[in-house]
Every structure is written in C-alpha cells, then in structure tokens.
Amino acid sequence: MIALIDYGAGNLTSVKKALTALGAAFTVPESPDDCGVASGLIVPGVGHFSATTALGAPWRDAIGRAVRAGTPLLGICVGMQWLFEGSDEAPDVPGLGLLEGRCQLLRGDAGQRLKIPHVGWNVLQPPRGPQGSPPHAFSGRLLAGLPSAPHVYFTHSFAAPVTTDCVASTTHAESFAAAVERGHVFGVQFHPEKSGDAGLQILRNYLEICA
C-alpha cells in the first residue's frame, strides 16, 4: 500500500490517476503513525515551498523513521525540494534534510528568451562521466528502462543543485537536478503523473522498488 502524503499543496488527483492506471493500491494517511505500515511514501507538491510547514514534527519524524526502516520515499516537484536542507523560496522553512544542498531560484537568461517559471516539456539528461566526459546511460533504479533523451513535464521556479545524488539533470538556461536517488530516497522535479509513457515508467519503477 502506497501512502500519498497530503499537506494541502500536492496534486493528489493526478498522482492517484497514474497509480490507478498502474494497478497500485494507495491511501492518504490521516495520521503520521500510518506511515509506518506503508510499503512506500510519495510526497507530491506544487506551489510555494512554505506549504511544507504543514508537515510538522510528527510527520517529519514518522517519515524519517519509515525511511530509516527501509521504506522507499519519492518526492515530486516541491516534494523533491523538501528532501533537501531547504529552499531560498522560504529561507526560514527547513527541508527534511535527507539530501545535502539548498534549492535556488532559476536564473533564466538576460534576454528572457527562457522565462521563469520553467513550464512545459524538457529533456532528461544523464549525468556526465568523469572529467566532463559525455553523458552515460541513466543509472540507478528509478530511471531504469527509459529511452534516450526522454521528455517530461515541468512547472517550477526553484530547483535543486546537481550533486552526486543527481541521476538526471535538465537545462533551462542553467542545469539543475531533475531526478535524485540515494538509498531508499528518490525525487523528481518534474511531474511523472503528467509525463506520458516516460513518467509512467518512472512510477512503475518506483512501485517495483516498493514491492
């Protein structure tokens, strides 16, 4: 049973439809205690980072305990940003801190050819190899089976940095982390539930990890 964490800012309807299409059982827990019995946790999100304040200490503690016990956690959009230490969008609001780094405003470009927010389809790029060698194939479990250069759907203004946890980046005037993976912790800046076959493959991979 997948637990969809509802903190009032997530696009739960679209995620529910995608999970239903994949034949997955899910629930929306009313209490943090329910996180401990789930086979996987998904934290979706849209809008402002400050909305994550609804996930107070009881939820943070419960999600942290579940992850430490081996329960896979997937953050989507703002839900992914929440996995990091924080965001400049709401400097006083702490993230969950499972991944190092802070999310920052995308810069766009001087001529405003590429505007912020970044809305629409864009390509996923595997990380570059050592010493800047060409990108290799997608690594890790979350992006397994994706074709070369898949397009996925974004809508955001802030983004996470490219770190060693980044398994795919995207460029919109600058490069940012589009997908991250560390142990049982996964995140995607884009919306897999709105990203066609590629997005469904990613959600299918996550469900297989939870199984």
Active site residues: 77, 191, 193
Q: CA 95 to CA 144: how far, in whole Å?
A: 27
Task: Using alpha carbons, list the distances in angstroms from residue 211 to 24, 38, 70, 75, 171.
Answer: 11, 11, 12, 18, 33
Count CB neighbours of 207 within 10 A: 20
Phi, psi of 20 (to 5 degrees): -60, -40
Helix (H, G, I), strand (E, B) or coil at 59: helix
Residue 84, phi-psi category: left (phi > 0), alpha (psi -120 to 50), beta (remainder)? beta
Q: CA 148 to CA 176: how far, in whole Å?
A: 18
